[in-house]
Structure formats: C-alpha cells, structure tokens
C-alpha cells in the first residue's frame, strides 16, 4: 500500500513545502506498513526527496504542463493514484495545492481534509487534527471514504529526515486540462516570494503612506526577506495585491514574521499563524498583535526600524 505525496516544484526545484509533505506521507505510510511515493512535475533532482522518506518519485515531464494547471495536475495525479493502487494522497497548503485538492478529490470520489496538522493516531479510523476557526481552534475530522486526500498545513508537522533510496520513474499519461490553460504568466521576478520566504517583513497602515516603505524594503534586504503588507495597505494601492497577507490574502509560513505598524486583526492573524516566530513593532502597547507575538517592541516604527537596520548591518559586518 502506498501513500502518494504531491511534491510541488518551481523551475524544476522542489518548493519549501515539499519536504514537509514528503515527511507527512512517509509517517502515514509507516503507520500503514506501506511506502511513500512522490509525484512531481518537471523535477530536475527528484531523488533528493529520499531524504524525507520518499522511496519512489513519479516524475511527470514533457507533457505540456510546464506551469501549474489545476485541472491537468488533478488528472495526472488521479492516474498516478490508480497506477500505484494508492488510497491516500497528501498535498500541501499552498494556493496551488488548495486549488488542486478539491478537483482531485472529486475525480477520485475521495474525502478531502485541508489544514491538517498531525498524522492520525489510528490510520484505519483516519481521524485527523486540523486547524479551524481561522486557526483559533482545532477540529478532529474523520475521512471515511476509501480514497482520501489530506492537505497538510504549513509549518505544523514539519520536515523530518528519514533517508531512503529514492528511485525516479518517468510518467507520461494522457493529459486532460478540461479546456483550461494559462496563455501567459506575468510573475513578479527578482524578489523572494512570500509563500517560500524564510523571513517576511510586513507593514501595515501604521506606516502612514507608501513613501515610507523604503525602510521596510531596506530591512527586508538586510535580512534576505520577502516584503508583505496588511489588506488596507494593498486596498489603498500603497503596495501590490500580491503582498497582501491574511485570511483573504496569502498565507505566510515563514520562520520569522516581522509585523510593523499592523494592529493584528483576526483576519490578518489567520494568514500568519503558521509562521514560527512573530516579532511585532507597534506604538500601541494594547495592539492585539502583541498577544500573538513571540517578541514585541512597543515603539514608533520610524525610530525602531532604522535602528534595527543599523544594528543588523553592524552585526552582519562583524560576522562576515
Ligand atoms: P490598522 O488597524 O489601522 O492598524 C495600524 C496599526 O499601526 C495600529 O495598531 C497602530 O497602533 C499602529 N501604528 C500607528 N502608527 C504607528 C507607528 N508610528 N509605529 C508603530 N505602529 C504604529 N486584513 C488583513 O490584513 N488581511 C486580510 O486578509 C484581511 N481580510 C479581511 C476580510 C474581511 C472579511 C474583513 C472584514 C476584514 C479583513 N481584513 C484583513 C481587515 C482587518 O480586519 C483589519 O482592518 C486590517 O488587518 C487592519 O490593517 P492594519 O493593521 O494595517 O491597520
């Protein structure tokens, strides 16, 4: 019995979430006495996933699916599930994965549980722990269909090394994109993407206007971070919508999230709760974000941030 892990790639390399999805699939496979099989599209170094317990990678290439296509990917993964006689598919929590998973579940007549944070205690019962209520609580959800699709929450289960030999197998089924394909992709280049960033520096309305974003970008540059913002900031056109973080924006699962002049509304926190360490800079000691913060600085961003940049530059100079 195999567990299939959908391992996302970009330009041939595995994305940050692939190691976590692979680790989860390996853990479930171990409990079932089976193996973890990865499926990747156009991976250039597929066997590296052996580090996370993947024993075989089905690599799909030369098929016209050079970029993500939810319908096409769902079709191919469903074919792989049949070929591998698998009954469990593990996907991540990226925007692509959340678009793909319901389509895949419908094709497989499978139950789908997103935002899963742990491996089920009993795989024959398959009740999974999931985040719920915008990450304010947990739900325990049983998937009772024969085939199951599990969406693993970012930065919850974690990546665990379990080195095994990983065989690569080419897979070229017929492709059905159900008449939907991208004709052009216009992507921000030269910047760290929010979804894959280890560090994110984010600004809110407390920064008063777009002219003050220089210090946010400078701090991000010193840290090698991506820049992000709250919803009103992108709504007012101070920053592009691609940077909007939260319930209605992008989720962030970075190791470090620095929030500057952001109040910490529940809709914003919903998008950043998967980040490991949250640092909040706000001049209002009562700002709700401090309750969710690991470290807080009560102070004026226009004083604190330049000092932080200066100290980080000094630190880097001393340690380079
Ligand atoms: P504000 O609430 O205005 O907070 C600004 C903060 O800056 C304050 O805490 C203030 O103390 C601080 N500040 C002011 N001056 C300084 C200074 N000099 N130095 C330091 N700090 C300073 N919001 C999102 O972000 N993402 C979402 O996805 C999202 N989805 C939503 C969905 C719905 C259905 C709804 C109703 C709302 C949604 N919102 C979302 C909006 C959300 O409710 C808040 O209004 C928003 O997050 C507030 O943005 P903010 O913290 O930048 O601004």
Residue 273 — pLDDT band, cuts 50, 70, 90?
Answer: confident
Cα separation, 114 vs 21, in Å, equals 13
Query: What average pLDDT score do residues 235-245 get?
Result: 95
pLDDT in tens, 274-294: 899 999 999 999 999 999 999
Query: What average pLDDT score do residues 62-77 get?
Result: 90
Q: What is the widest separation between alpha-carbon atoms in the chain?
A: 60
pLDDT given for residue 176 in this prediction: 84
Is the C-beta atom of 175 inside 6 A of ligand 1? no
pLDDT given for residue 231 in this prediction: 98
Is the C-beta atom of 302 inside 6 A of ligand 1? yes
pLDDT in tens, 111-151: 999 999 999 999 999 999 999 887 778 999 999 999 999 99
pLDDT given for residue 64 in this prediction: 79
Nearest CA to ligand 1 atom 3: 205
Reported pTM: 0.80
Q: Of ligand 1's atoms, which has the minimum distance to the CA of residue 284?
A: 11
Q: Residue 245 to residues 162, 208, 261, 267: CA-CA distances in angstroms? A: 33, 18, 14, 9
Gap from CA of 204 to ligand 1 centroid (Å): 6
Residue 184 — pLDDT band, cuts 50, 70, 90?
Answer: confident
pLDDT given for residue 111 in this prediction: 98
Cα separation, 60 vs 56, in Å, equals 13
Q: Of ligand 1's atoms, which has the minimum distance to the CA of residue 249?
A: 28
Select from 111, 113, 89, 96 the least CA-distant residue to 22.
89
Is the C-beta atom of 287 inside 6 A of ligand 1? yes
């Amino acid at each position: 019995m195999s567990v299939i892990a959908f391992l996302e790639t970009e330009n041939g390399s595995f994305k940050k979430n692939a190691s976590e999805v692979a680790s989860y699939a390996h853990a479930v496979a171990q409990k079932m006495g089976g193996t973890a099989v990865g499926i990747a599209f156009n991976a250039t170094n597929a066997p590296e996933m052996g580090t996370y317990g993947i024993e075989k990678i089905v690599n799909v290439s030369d098929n016209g699916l050079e970029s993500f296509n939810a319908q096409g990917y769902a079709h191919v993964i469903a074919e792989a599930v049949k070929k591998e006689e698998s009954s469990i598919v593990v996907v991540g929590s990226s925007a692509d994965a959340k678009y793909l998973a319901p389509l895949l579940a419908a094709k497989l007549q499978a139950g789908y549980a997103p935002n899963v944070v742990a491996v089920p205690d009993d795989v024959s019962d398959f009740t999974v722990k999931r985040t719920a209520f915008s990450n304010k609580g947990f739900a325990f959800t049983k998937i009772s269909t024969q085939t199951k699709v599990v969406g693993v929450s970012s930065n919850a289960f974690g990546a665990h090394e379990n080195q095994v030999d990983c065989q690569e197998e080419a897979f070229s089924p017929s492709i059905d994109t159900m008449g939907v394909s991208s004709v052009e992709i216009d992507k921000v280049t030269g910047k760290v993407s929010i979804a894959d960033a280890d560090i994110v520096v984010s600004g809110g309305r407390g920064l008063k206007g777009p002219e003050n974003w220089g210090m946010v970008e400078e701090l991000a540059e010193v840290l090698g971070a991506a820049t992000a913002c709250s919803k009103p900031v992108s709504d007012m056109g101070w920053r592009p919508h691609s940077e909007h973080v939260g319930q209605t924006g992008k989720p962030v699962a970075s190791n470090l999230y620095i929030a500057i002049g952001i109040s910490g509304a529940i809709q914003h926190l919903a998008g950043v709760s998967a980040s490991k360490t949250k640092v909040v800079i706000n001049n209002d000691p009562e700002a709700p974000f401090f309750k969710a913060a690991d470290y807080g600085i009560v102070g004026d961003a226009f004083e604190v941030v330049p000092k932080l940049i200066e100290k980080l530059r000094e630190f880097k100079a001393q340690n380079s």
